[in-house]
């Protein structure tokens, strides 16, 4: 019923949602027959359905390389995230992970649910990795080695300063950006992007996830792991967990807004990176997550619900972004629209209001100066008419089908 209500509230979401559902089913049917590749693509769908959809659009050779890159780093991340593993066991595994990917006999049991299966049957990932071209293998090994070392460093080190925050995000996500740029270049489809732009692509996504996942991370069992920098949160509370409690809501939201403003520092670099891409499939692969990130920040900003549960974009809007992100104009348009949403939520009494507004206005200026805002297909703020006749007919037909099925099921 909730999904139907959402569609009725946003009828223009229906067609993109239908296309997304069909694309997901098609992607699942394209899983390779070889056991190791079948495992890898099946696992990809289980640990990240949205990522699996955008990766399916890449050319076959690059698709395989990115799939394995993602699963290797997801496995590395599973080791880091498992707070039940003792430090003296975890650190050596992180530091040596780049060598384990060459060994089809290696596995390490940790994590839960799908992640445990990934770790228990990691030999499939290693077998597939060994079939990649040497250029792809070298890029994946290099990034895995650097990321593992960085993760090991922060197992024994808290995120104290903003510089620590940027360094941690570089290790766990900026390096992903560097690695993907290397894979794109190895495919001969793109020029090699600069490290600084590639790093910003990763930092923007990672900071968004860290902001959004406050409650999940602080409630982690057996012990919490948090990456909000003390230099920022200590301005608003004595302990990071204080933000969970309703009595601290005002200060919690002020800290949240401070962190969102910090994340916005990476937007211009991301826009430059995406503007330089030539291959359409690579462009969409990069652009869709970035639009989702700026949209998530717009939802999280000034929103106390970040400290009460999960704040995420409605599925219909996600489907629309996936369906309509096809050009650089669509990216600039989406970033502009979400910046408008952000600006409308800024409270002048917020201690960082002036800094936040300055960042938003700089982003909007960049989007306007691109000259592309009137050439886009994707609109976030200015939606299509609510009662498009064709959409209403489709919705009415769908409701009739659902009711007919329900009547047959109940025998009425």
pLDDT tens digit string along 128-140?
999 999 999 999 9
pLDDT tens digit string along 156-199?
889 999 999 999 999 999 999 999 999 999 999 999 999 999 99
Q: Which of the residues 212, 284, 324, 359 is marked catalytic?
A: 212
Q: Mean pLDDT for the chain?
A: 89
Determine whether 168 is an active site residue. yes
User: What radius of gyration do the chain's Cα atoms show?
Assistant: 22
pTM of the entire predicted model = 0.88
Instruction: Tell me how far apart the alpha carbons of residues 143 and 62 are, in angstroms, rounded to a whole number.
Output: 17
Q: Which of the residues 69, 129, 168, 214 is marked catalytic?
A: 168
Are 282 and 189 within 8 A, CB to CB? yes
Instruction: Tell me how far apart the alpha carbons of residues 62 and 75 are, in angstroms, rounded to a whole number.
Output: 20
Are 262 and 211 within 8 A, CB to CB? no
386's tokens: 């609510």
Q: Which of the residues 49, 99, 225, 308 is marked catalytic?
A: 225
List the helix and strand counts (H, then E) for the chain. Answer: 21, 0
Q: 25: pLDDT confidence band, cut at 50, 70 and 90?
A: confident
Q: Which of 241, 246, 263, 258 is nearest to 350 (CA)?
A: 258
pLDDT at 395 over 70: no
* pLDDT at site 21: 74
* pLDDT at site 310: 85
Instruction: Tell me how far apart the alpha carbons of residues 36 and 85 are, in angstroms, rounded to a whole number.
Output: 27
Are 143 and 176 within 8 A, CB to CB? yes
Determine whether 225 is an active site residue. yes
Q: Which of the residues 115, 122, 285, 301 is marked catalytic?
A: 285
pLDDT at 384 over 50: no
CB atoms within 10 A of CB 121: 13
Q: What does the pLDDT average to over 394-398?
A: 59
Note the residue count of the chain: 412
Q: What DSSP string describes 213-270?
A: THHHHHT-SSS----S-HHHHTTT-SSGGGGGSGGGHHHHHHHHHHHHHHHGGGHHHH
The percentage of residues in the chain with a pLDDT greater than 90, rounded to a whole number, is: 72
Cα–Cα distances (Å) from 143 to 47, 72, 95, 103, 187, in that order, read: 20, 10, 12, 17, 17
Instruction: Tell me how far apart the alpha carbons of residues 412 and 402 are, in angstroms, rounded to a whole number.
Output: 14
């Amino acid at each position: 019923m909730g999904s139907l209500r959402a569609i009725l509230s946003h009828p223009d979401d229906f067609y993109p949602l239908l296309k997304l559902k069909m694309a997901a089913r098609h992607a699942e049917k394209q899983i390779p027959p070889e056991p190791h590749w079948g495992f890898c693509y099946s696992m990809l769908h289980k640990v990240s359905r949205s990522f699996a959809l955008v990766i399916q659009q890449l050319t076959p050779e690059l698709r395989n390389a990115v799939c394995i890159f993602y699963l290797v780093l997801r496995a590395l991340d599973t080791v880091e995230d498992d707070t039940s593993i003792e430090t003296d066991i975890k650190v050596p595994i992180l530091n040596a992970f780049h060598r384990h990917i060459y060994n089809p006999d290696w596995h390490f049991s940790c994590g839960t649910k799908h992640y445990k299966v990934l770790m228990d049957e990691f030999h499939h990932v290693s077998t597939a990795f060994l079939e990649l071209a040497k250029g792809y293998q070298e890029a994946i090994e290099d990034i895995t080695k650097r990321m593992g070392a960085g993760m090991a460093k922060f197992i024994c080190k808290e995120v104290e300063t903003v510089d620590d925050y940027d360094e941690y995000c570089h290790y766990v996500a900026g390096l992903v950006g560097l690695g993907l740029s290397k894979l794109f270049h190895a495919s001969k489809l793109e020029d090699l992007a600069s490290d600084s732009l590639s790093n910003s692509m990763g930092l923007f996504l990672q900071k968004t996830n860290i902001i959004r996942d406050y409650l999940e991370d602080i409630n982690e069992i057996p012990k919490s792991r948090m990456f909000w920098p003390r230099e920022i949160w200590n301005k608003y509370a004595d302990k990071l967990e204080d933000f969970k409690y309703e009595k601290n809501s005002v200060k919690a939201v002020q800290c949240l807004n401070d962190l969102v403003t910090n994340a916005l520092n990476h937007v211009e670099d991301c826009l430059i990176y995406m503007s330089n891409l030539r291959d359409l499939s690579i462009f969409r692969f990069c652009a869709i997550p970035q639009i989702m990130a700026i949209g998530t920040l717009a939802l999280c900003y000034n929103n106390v619900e970040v400290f009460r549960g999960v704040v995420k974009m409605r599925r219909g809007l996600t489907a629309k972004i996936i369906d309509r992100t096809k050009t650089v104009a669509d990216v600039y348009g989406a970033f502009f629209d979400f910046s408008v949403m952000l600006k409308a939520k800024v409270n002048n009494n917020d201690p960082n209001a002036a800094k936040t507004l300055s960042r938003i206005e700089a982003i909007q200026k960049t989007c306007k100066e691109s000259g592309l805002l009137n050439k886009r297909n994707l609109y976030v703020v200015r939606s299509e008419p609510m009662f498009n006749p064709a959409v209403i007919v489709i919705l009415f037909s769908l409701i009739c089908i659902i009711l007919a099925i329900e009547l047959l099921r109940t025998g009425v």
